[in-house]
C-alpha cells in the first residue's frame, strides 16, 4: 500500500471588516470607513541609506515625503502618530539623525489631512533644467550659476532663450547594480564569423526536402505590410531550432510569419504539403522560405 503525501497551501486571509488595497488597509468600524497604512509582512523597509551617493536635498525629502504619505493614508490621528514613530525607527536604522527626523516628520504633521489630500496642480514653467551627474566632490553649482548670471544675460540671444536662470537637477551616478546588471541583452555574437556568418544557408544534404525552399545567402528581409527591414543576426540552416521564420509567396508576395522551438526542417514539413496543394491550383502560387532570426 503506497502512501501519498499531500502538501496543503497556506489558507487565504479573509475578513468581513477590513481589506488591504495597495498600501492602505481599509476597515469598517462602527459603520464608518477608516484607513490605515498597510505593508506586507515581507517588507524590509530598506529606505535610502544616509551614506548613499545622492544629493543632500534627495535625502532631506525622504522623511518628509514618507510622513506626508502617512498623513494622507491614516484617517485616525492616534494611528498616524503610531505609524510615524515606526517610520522614525526604520529611518534611524538607515543612518538618519534623530533630530533631523523629528523636524521633518513634525513639518508633515503640521499639514492638515484635508490639505494633504488636495491635488496640487502642476505649475507650467519655462525654466531650462541644467542636468548633471551628482558627485560629492562637485562644487556648489547653483552658486556658480547665480554668480555668473550677469555674463549669461549680457547676450540678447541668451536673454531670449533663458527667461529665468537654469534649474539645477542631479542625475544619479552609476551604482554597483548598474555596472554589473544590463537591462539590454547584448547582440548575439557568432563564435566563428568566418565559418558561420549571420545568413540563411542550405545544408549539403542532397535528400533534404526543406533546403530547396530556403534562399541561400539571404542577410536581410523586408515586411511587405509595413516596409520595415530587418537583418538576420544568426547563422541559420534547416537544422536550426528556436527560430522565427517567414514563408513568402513568389507570385503574390503574401507573407506568413511563424515560430518554432523544434528544428526548422521538422516544422516546415508540416507546411510543405499545403504549399504543394496550393501550387496545384490554377494560379500556381509557389512559396519560398526565408529564415530570418534565431532567438535561441
pLDDT in tens, 207-262: 887 777 777 777 777 887 788 888 877 778 888 888 888 888 777 778 888 888 88
- Alpha helices per DSSP H over 127-263: 141-147, 149-152, 156-161, 176-180
Q: What is the pLDDT of residue 188?
A: 56
Q: What is the pLDDT of residue 267?
A: 82
Q: What is the pLDDT of residue 186?
A: 62
Q: What is the pLDDT of residue 2?
A: 39
Q: What is the pLDDT of residue 192?
A: 46
Task: Read off the C-alpha cell for 250.
Answer: 513568389
Q: What is the pLDDT of residue 31?
A: 79
Q: What is the pLDDT of residue 189?
A: 53
DSSP of 80-146, one letter per residue?
HHHHHHHHHHHHHHTT--HHHHHHHHHHHHHS-HHHHHSPPPPPP--PPEEEEE--TT---HHHHHH
Q: What is the pLDDT of residue 200?
A: 77
Q: What is the pLDDT of residue 285?
A: 35
**Model-wide pTM > 0.85:** no
Q: Give me the residues of the chain with pLDDT under 50, please.
A: 1-10, 191-194, 280-289, 291-296
Backbone dihedral region for residue 169 (phi beyond 0: left; psi -120 to 50: alpha; all else: beta): beta
Terminal-residue alpha carbon distance, the chain: 46
Amino acid at each position: 500500500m503506497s502512501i501519498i503525501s499531500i502538501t496543503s497551501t497556506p489558507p487565504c486571509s479573509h475578513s468581513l471588516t477590513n481589506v488591504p488595497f495597495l498600501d492602505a488597509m481599509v476597515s469598517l468600524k462602527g459603520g464608518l470607513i477608516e484607513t490605515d497604512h498597510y505593508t506586507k509582512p515581507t517588507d524590509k523597509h530598506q529606505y535610502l541609506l544616509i551614506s548613499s551617493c545622492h544629493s543632500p536635498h534627495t535625502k532631506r525629502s525622504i522623511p518628509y515625503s514618507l510622513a506626508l504619505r502617512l498623513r494622507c493614508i491614516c484617517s485616525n490621528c492616534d494611528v498616524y502618530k503610531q505609524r510615524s514613530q515606526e517610520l522614525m525607527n526604520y529611518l534611524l536604522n538607515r543612518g538618519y539623525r534623530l533630530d533631523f527626523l523629528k523636524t521633518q516628520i513634525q513639518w508633515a504633521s503640521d499639514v492638515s489631512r484635508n490639505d494633504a489630500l488636495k491635488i496640487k496642480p502642476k505649475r507650467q514653467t519655462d525654466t531650462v533644467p541644467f542636468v548633471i551627474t551628482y558627485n560629492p566632490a562637485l562644487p556648489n553649482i547653483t552658486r556658480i550659476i547665480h554668480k555668473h548670471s550677469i555674463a549669461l544675460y549680457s547676450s540678447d540671444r541668451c536673454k531670449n532663450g533663458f527667461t529665468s536662470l537654469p534649474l539645477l537637477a542631479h542625475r544619479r551616478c552609476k551604482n554597483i547594480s548598474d555596472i554589473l546588471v544590463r537591462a539590454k541583452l547584448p547582440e548575439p555574437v557568432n563564435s566563428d564569423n568566418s565559418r558561420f556568418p549571420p545568413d540563411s544557408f542550405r545544408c549539403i544534404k542532397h535528400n533534404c526536402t526543406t533546403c530547396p525552399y530556403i534562399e541561400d545567402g539571404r542577410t536581410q528581409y523586408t515586411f511587405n505590410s509595413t516596409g520595415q527591414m530587418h537583418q538576420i543576426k544568426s547563422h541559420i540552416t534547416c537544422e536550426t531550432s528556436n527560430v522565427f521564420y517567414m514563408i513568402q509567396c513568389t507570385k503574390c508576395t503574401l507573407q506568413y510569419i511563424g515560430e518554432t522551438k523544434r528544428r526548422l526542417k521538422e516544422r516546415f514539413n508540416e507546411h510543405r504539403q499545403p504549399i504543394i496543394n496550393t501550387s496545384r491550383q490554377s494560379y500556381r502560387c509557389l512559396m519560398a522560405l526565408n529564415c530570418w532570426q534565431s532567438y535561441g
